Amino acid sequence: MTTLPAAVRQESYLAEGRTIRSWLLSVDHKRIAILYLVAITGLFVIGGFAAMLIRVHLLTPQGALVSKEEYNRLFTLHGTTMVWFFLIPSIPTVLGNFLLPLMVGARDLAFPRLNLASWYVFVAGGCVAMAAMFAGGVDTGWTFYTPYSTRFASPAVVLLLLGIFIAGFSSIFTGLNFIVTTHTMRVPGLTWLRLPLFVWSLYATSLVLVLATPVLAIVLVLLGVERLWGVGIFDPALGGDPVLFQHLFWFYSHPAVYIMILPGMGVVSEIIPCFARRPIFGYRFVAMSSLAIAVLSFLVWGHHMFVSGQSIYASMAFSILSFLVAVPSAIKVFNWTFTLRKGTIRLRTPMLYALGFVGLFTIGGLTGLFVASLPVDVHVHDTYFIIAHFHYIMVGGAVMAYLGGMHFWWPKISGRMYPEGWGVFSAVLMFIGFNLTFFPQFILGYEGMPRRYATYPAEFQVLNVLSTAGASILGVAYVAPLVYFLWSLRSPPTAAPNPWGARGLEWQTTSPPPPENFVAPPIVADTPYDYDHPAPEDPTHG
Amino acid sequence: MILDPSSSSAARFSDVFTALMVFAGAIVLLVLGLVVVYCTRYRAGSGADRSGRLVHVGKLEALAIGAMAVTFGALFVWAAKLYFDNATPPADARTIYIVARQWMWKVEHPGGRREINELHIPIGEPVRLVMISQDVIHSFFIPRFRLKQDVLPTRYTTLWFVAYEPGEFHLFCSQYCGADHSQMRGTVVAMEPAEFQRWLGPSPMVPAPVPGTPGTPQGGLAAGGRSVFFALGCNACHVPGASVRAPRLDGIWDRPIALRNGQTVTGDEQYIRESILDPNAKISAGYTPPSLMPTYRGTVTPEQITQLIEFIKSLRDGWPPGLSPVQHPSQTGEKP
């Protein structure tokens, strides 16, 4: 590792132009990351607001706020927005876009203009989808099960499908760009086994994006064709098979779960070694487990269909494969934990998020074993147990990792430090709020409350009220970082190039980096986790 | 938490669920315990000994992978075996038909008693539900029995259980099915067998057309099916001695049927329903496609199909003598 040349501070990518035009037409991966940040934050607010309304509505058994029809639209809005317009793009398009070229020592992604195009495609898809949900209203749920979606739901469903179809191309473009960049743009010396684990996770994610998203596109087109022209594919009244839709949908949507969580695993694999001052335990196993998860993710879709009437032999095959996919995930958890051993641990905000991730992901992952077990899934399927299970992975996992990463790399992205006290406060608040929101939902599901219920039997009320109370805390914990990140922009960009004493290449350039990323090509001497040997620029704080 | 087994399926669920709770609880405690211990002992500034770090990383990882593979494998085999061994209902199970639609559950007992959003069952006896939907996919969910099965518009799905205790339990639709999905609820009433028999009511027999031959229960599904059989004109071909040659219906229930393509199917609900709606789907051995029979899709209701099934069931041991085109029941005053 080299020290940063004590050269004059380069002009940062942020100062390169201040007009709207200079942002909207920029092909700089760092600026495009900011464009994505703005877009997905806006969409997260929409999806989060829908979640708040859902939780308020469920305060009483008869429903406290909206009509049944409105409730059904709200959970469709929440699910669709969060899955396709927040979780799938979040870490790859913001942190991935910003960091991948920096981490491999490149000037930009392999295809900068394709990168900008993918942002426009994403925004176009988002606008079409939001128009469908606000102008028309769609009540199918994010899963669009047939024949409800093709025969009974409002015509706006076609517009929503179109929005998701368009956004899918953005995923494919980004995936291609990341794969090619990882293969071709690494600086000399940066061998595959010296890649940061975040890059490994982005690479695995990109493979899934490129291979799975076309299947989703095909399904959405088939749905639209049936809906618009009455071609019988899924609707039994037209001679179709509704269960076929479920197979095709989950063939994409289960791998999509790993699109959402793999990048988060990568973020945590960067944060934990840095704040434990220890090389990651079992680097190769953590890297390869990302690839193992990517491959296995394509083989487990049928575990969403244990009660759909599929063959019992198919169910058993999908059950064992679902147990198998837990192995590489568990390996990661053990390696993160052992990385802490004999470290020098500083519990800064990013580390709190990362440790929160480990705890919540462990619970989410272990409850995955429950739903992989046939006799248990037959009861908890389509109940709040499932809701709790995937929110532990998606919110407790993916969102925690996203926010941990945002805090970790905020000095690099913005050139400013976030306020540490507020950071710790909101991280702890989020952990508490999250558990209060979603743990009661495990019990609700165990007791049998089905998901997507606008009204419910009175005996479920206490747990629902608890969950709503937790959601209010969670809401506050989400607003806080939004406020203090923006607030930090008021002061000048004075963050040190490497405030955490981290070892990745992105810390070898200024904060924020110059438009060309590196003034001189960075030098790679070891893995990015060489924390055993003190680096000259190690900070004194901590 | 309720862990008392209230049904055969709930007992299976509880065993696996408890085992998983113990396993998952141990792992959560282990991981969280290690994180807390490490973060305390090795916090920056602590004087803990940091020498002697783990070597042999590969062996340790291989050990962890092996241990997990064995544990997960054992859990899978046990859970899957429980599931597999109980997939097939006992032959003597009591069949009850369920027709789901937006947004209600219609229940038909073979004896003729019908209910809506209620399901009465006897305890201590295997009950088998044969379910179909008239519109979208629904899911039949009895939380107390830890039991759930999607109800499809394309074909029958089945579910079976033995209830162990009398009582009233929730019945939910758990597959989102539109505006009133959350209102698609009902009650399962499990009763002592004697009480259940009283609830079912007496089932007087309709005398057979020819004195001295077995009759069918009055108002029962089979009797209704016999009326449907004549009303739809099935008797023109499907009775002994009819002028048109058609596959026989007597003696096919629950028995193997040879098909033209060399395969064999069992004469069950699925097969009968499919043959009524899509006569060309499975052509019996000795016949050539296309089938002379028209499709009854759109003509016949799901309830009529279940009646026809029960009627064909009642022919398992042969036609009652006298049931032929010559003696149409309308001549004996029975309304089709």
Place of tokens 């029979």: B293
| Nearest chain A Cα distance for residue B154, angstroms | 6
d(CA A15, CA A31): 11
| Nearest chain B Cα distance for residue A205, angstroms | 23
pLDDT at residue A540 is higher than 60:
no
Question: Measured between alpha carbons, how far is residue B48 from residues A247, A281, A535, B37, B185 in Å?
Answer: 54, 19, 22, 12, 60
pLDDT at position A194: 94
Residue A375 forms contact with B (CB below 8 Å): yes
- Tell me the per-residue pLDDT of B123-150, one tens digit each, with 9 for 90 and over: 999 999 999 999 999 999 999 999 999 9
pLDDT at residue B330 is higher than 60:
no
Strand B114-116 vs strand B167-173: parallel, antiparallel, or unpaired? unpaired
Question: Inter-chain contact B172–A450, Cβ cutoff 8 Å?
Answer: yes
Three-state SS for A435?
helix
pLDDT at position A454: 96
Identify the band that residue B336 occupies on the pLDDT scale cut at 50, 70 and 90.
very low
A307: closest chain B residue by CA:
B149
| Among A residues 48-77, those touching chain B with beta carbons less than 8 Å apart | 68-69, 72
* B57 vs A53, residue with greater confidence: A53
Question: Inter-chain contact A340–B39, Cβ cutoff 8 Å?
Answer: yes
Listed residue (B31, B224, B76, B265) closest to A361, CA to CA? B31
| Among A residues 107-136, those touching chain B with beta carbons less than 8 Å apart | none
Point out the residue among A315, A375, A446 whose CB comes nearest to the CB of B16. A375
Cβ partners under 8 Å of residue B10, min gap 6: B4, B144, B145, B146, B147
Task: Write the DSSP string, B218-261.
Answer: TTSHHHHHHHHHHHTTTHHHHSTT-SS-----TT-BTSEEEBTT
Neighboring chain B residues of A141 at a CB cutoff of 8 Å: 176
CB count, 10 Å around CB of B321?
Answer: 14
DSSP state, residue B93: P
Point out the residue among A242, A373, A383 whose CB comes nearest to the CB of B16. A373
- Tell me the per-residue pLDDT of A9-60, one tens digit each, with 9 for 90 and over: 558 999 888 899 999 999 999 999 999 999 999 999 999 999 999 999 999 9
Task: Write the DSSP string, B19-79.
Answer: HHHHHHHHHHHHHHHHHHHHHHHTBTT------S----HHHHHHHHHHHHHHHHHHHHHHH
Range list for CATH 2.60.40.420 in chain B = 94-200
Residue A42 forms contact with B (CB below 8 Å): no
| Among B residues 112-151, those touching chain A with beta carbons less than 8 Å apart | 135-137, 139, 141, 143-144, 146-150
Q: Hey, what domains does chain A have and what are their CATH numbers? A: 23-508 (1.20.210.10)
Residue A533 forms contact with B (CB below 8 Å): no
pLDDT at residue A83 is higher than 80:
yes
What CATH class does B94-200 carry?
Answer: mainly beta
d(CA B81, CA A302): 18
Neighboring chain A residues of B20 at a CB cutoff of 8 Å: 369-370, 373, 376
Share of chain B above pLDDT 90, in %: 59
Question: Measured between alpha carbons, how far is residue A83 from residues A24, A389, B54, B209, B241 in Å?
Answer: 25, 15, 40, 64, 64
Q: What is the arithmetic mean of pLDDT over A501-530?
A: 90
Question: Inter-chain contact B23–A242, Cβ cutoff 8 Å?
Answer: no
| Nearest chain B Cα distance for residue A6, angstroms | 29
Neighboring chain B residues of A307 at a CB cutoff of 8 Å: 139, 148-150
Point out the residue among B43, B170, B181 whose CB comes nearest to the CB of A345. B43
Neighboring chain B residues of A343 at a CB cutoff of 8 Å: 38, 42, 50
Identify the band that residue B327 occupies on the pLDDT scale cut at 50, 70 and 90.
very low
- Tell me the per-residue pLDDT of A366-383, one tens digit each, with 9 for 90 and over: 999 999 999 999 999 999
- Tell me the per-residue pLDDT of A89-108, one tens digit each, with 9 for 90 and over: 999 999 999 999 999 999 99
Cβ partners under 8 Å of residue B198, min gap 6: none
Point out the residue among B39, B148, B153 whose CB comes nearest to the CB of A379. B148
Question: Inter-chain contact A331–B155, Cβ cutoff 8 Å?
Answer: no
Listed residue (A179, A324, A303) closest to B65, CA to CA? A324
Point out the residue among B13, B52, B72 whose CB comes nearest to the CB of A379. B13
pLDDT at position B321: 66
d(CA B316, CA B294): 24
pLDDT at residue B291 is higher than 70:
yes
d(CA A497, CA A417): 11
d(CA A33, CA A97): 5
Question: Inter-chain contact B176–A141, Cβ cutoff 8 Å?
Answer: yes
**B205-332 belongs to CATH 1.10.760.10:** yes
Q: What is the arithmetic mean of pLDDT over B22-48?
A: 94
Residue A6 forms contact with B (CB below 8 Å): no
A246: closest chain B residue by CA:
B137
| Structure tokens, A502 | 């981290």
| Nearest chain B Cα distance for residue A392, angstroms | 14
- Tell me the per-residue pLDDT of A214-271, one tens digit each, with 9 for 90 and over: 999 999 999 999 999 989 999 988 889 999 999 999 999 999 999 999 999 999 999 9
| Nearest chain B Cα distance for residue A72, angstroms | 7
Identify the band that residue A496 occupies on the pLDDT scale cut at 50, 70 and 90.
very high
Residue A347 forms contact with B (CB below 8 Å): yes
B86: closest chain A residue by CA:
A375
How high does pLDDT run on average in chain A? 93
d(CA A146, CA B188): 28
| Nearest chain B Cα distance for residue A354, angstroms | 11
B116 burial level (CB within 10 Å; 0-12, 13-18, 19+): exposed
pLDDT at position B218: 63
Question: Inter-chain contact A326–B68, Cβ cutoff 8 Å?
Answer: yes
Identify the band that residue A428 occupies on the pLDDT scale cut at 50, 70 and 90.
very high
Mutate to test the interface with A, among B40, B42, B139, B183 (most CBs of A within 10 A): B42
